[in-house]
Amino acid sequence: MDRERLREDVERNAEFGRIEAEEGRGRTVLTGTEANREAREYLVERLEDAGLEVRIDAVGNVAGRWTPDGADPDAAPVAAGSHLDSVPEGGIFDGPLGVYAALEAVRAMQDAGVEPSRPVAVVSFTEEEGQRFASGLLGSSVAVGERSVEEALALEADDGEGGTVTLEAALESIGFRGEGLLDASELDAWLELHVEQSERLESAGVPMGVVTSITGITHCEAVVRGEADHAGATPMVDRTDALAAASEFVLDVEQAANEVVAAESDTAVGTLGSLDVRPNATNVVPGVVEMGVDVRDVDRDAMQEIVSQSRESLARLERERGVETEFRRPFDLEPTPMSDRVRGAAHGAGEAAGIETMDLHSGAAHDTMHVASVTDAGLLFAPSRDGISHNPKEWTDWDDCAAATRVLAGALADLADGR
């Protein structure tokens, strides 16, 4: 593969939505914005330059298809890719590295005269980050049938002028409201290369991670209701302080996660990341606290244990503090194991290229979670310096980008040849 060609594409993409940053290189590319249009148009141009047939589906998913002369054009293709959108003030590698590494893998096969028996596709999914429409993984959710095209297109977001805009209108405004559907179930296999967003590869000195499983994710909503009252005139003994009770719940969630890590699964995490305190006034005893809990692990039972202990904590607070509580679980994703076939191809490609690989899990969600529900899928990681991501300081050395792309290319070539 051509290291400098890959670097040129990633750096060119970094100019779209570029922001000024004290350190590093940042970008803000939200779905349906001008920066998103520029990023998409550049990708289409590069796909066409490589001789790929480009298609845009109804929700803006972009796919470029390479059908070698010796390939069966009707065979189910092997595909790779990621996404081009970003979080606000994000880094330059999260998403685009996976898209352009997939394209570079195809170009490397072309340059080497490799002609697999199946077509190979390069894909960029719409709205992976969930920063403007829905909650993330939008394009891939449509591609696997978990969300209808109509439902996706009707989603609304702030238009920046005091009103709202639908996804359909936003895509039309940038010229990327296509037709039909990218059906992931029609793929023979799928691979996504992504930056790790953690320090395990860097700490181990290994340039390539092969993901065994993508974490399950549960979001829970907890409410504690006490009684708002005057901070000066209400004796301590007469208070039903919702925030004081909620503070115990925060620590109980942390303790539950630590206990599960010690006894069951060292990859489990529990986070209480949001608090809404009402009336939120210095001279008022808090009356209501709403909290958001995030629980993740590759072990479903471990996740269930943290959630169960969280419920028990609220029950204890009702008994001991006289508060009323509610507990809801509106978002729940099962852990997603990766395909043994695809993982084997990645490890084999690393061995053939003399690039060390290691198994590890993913603690973050990726489009591959959806794709894995309908076909063989795999996820690869390139090292992240200091584990930083979603930040202009996000960085993966170009040599590591190149090494990861070589593994991706080798795995794609093997899979596309029916191995």
Write the pLDDT tens digit of every residue in 294-351: 999 999 999 999 999 999 999 999 999 999 999 999 999 899 999 999 999 999 999 9
pLDDT tens digit string along 198-210? 999 999 999 999 9
pLDDT band at 418 (very low <50, low <70, confident <90, very high): confident
> Which residue matches tokens 């190149």?
402
78-83 and 269-278 strand pairing:
unpaired
Contacts of residue 293, Cβ cutoff 8 Å, sequence gap at least 6 = 218, 219, 220, 221, 222, 253, 270, 271, 272, 273, 310
In the predicted model, what is the mean pLDDT of residues 243-265?
Answer: 98
**How far apart are the C-alpha atoms of 413 and 407, rounded to whole Å?**
10
Instruction: Give the pTM.
Output: 0.92
Q: Would you place residue 419 in the very low, low, confident or very high pLDDT band (cuts 50, 70, 90)?
A: low
The CATH fold assigned to 3-215+335-416 is Aminopeptidase (3.40.630)
Give the C-alpha separation, 17 to 355, whole Å.
34
* Separation between Cα atoms, residue 372 and residue 192, nearest integer Å: 11
Q: Which of 303, 304, 272 is nearest to 289 (CA)?
A: 272
Scan for tokens 């290189």, then name that residue: 25
Using DSSP, state whether 14 is helix, strand or coil: helix
In the predicted model, is pLDDT for residue 134 greater than 90? no
How far apart are alpha carbons 37 and 123 in whole angstroms? Answer: 16
Average pLDDT of the residues of the chain: 97
Residue percentage of the chain with pLDDT more than 70: 100
Let me know: does 403 contact 355? Beta carbons within 8 Å. Answer: yes
Domain with CATH 3.30.70.360 in the chain: 219-333
Instruction: Give residue 161's pLDDT.
Output: 86
Question: What percent of the chain has a predicted confidence (pLDDT) above 90?
Answer: 97
Which residue shows structure tokens 């499983």? 213
Whether 99 and 12 have beta carbons less than 8 Å apart is answered as no
| Cβ contacts of 51 within 8 Å, gap of 6 or more | 66, 110
3-state secondary structure of 189: strand
How many Å apart are CA 231 and CA 233, to the nearest integer? 6
The predicted model gives 114-126 an average pLDDT of 97
Please state the rounded mean pLDDT for residues 103-126.
97
Nearest to 380 by CA among 108, 102, 194: 194
Torsion of CA 295, 298, 302, 308, to 10 degrees: 40
- Domain 219-333 class? alpha beta
- Residue ranges of the chain assigned to CATH 3.40.630.10: 3-215+335-416
Residue 128 has pLDDT above 80, yes or no: yes
pLDDT of residue 307: 98
| pLDDT recorded at residue 135 | 82
Q: Which SS3 state, helix, strand or coil, does residue 339 take?
A: coil
What type of residue is 347?
H
Q: What is the mean pLDDT of residues 73-85?
A: 98
Specify the pLDDT at position 163.
93
Q: DSSP class of residue 90?
A: B
**Residue 178, token pair as written in the block:** 């296509």
Please compute the mean of the pLDDT values over residues 128-140 and round it to a whole number. Answer: 93
Whether the predicted pLDDT of 53 surpasses 70: yes
Structure tokens at 89: 């003030």
* Confidence band, pLDDT 50/70/90 cuts, at residue 184: very high
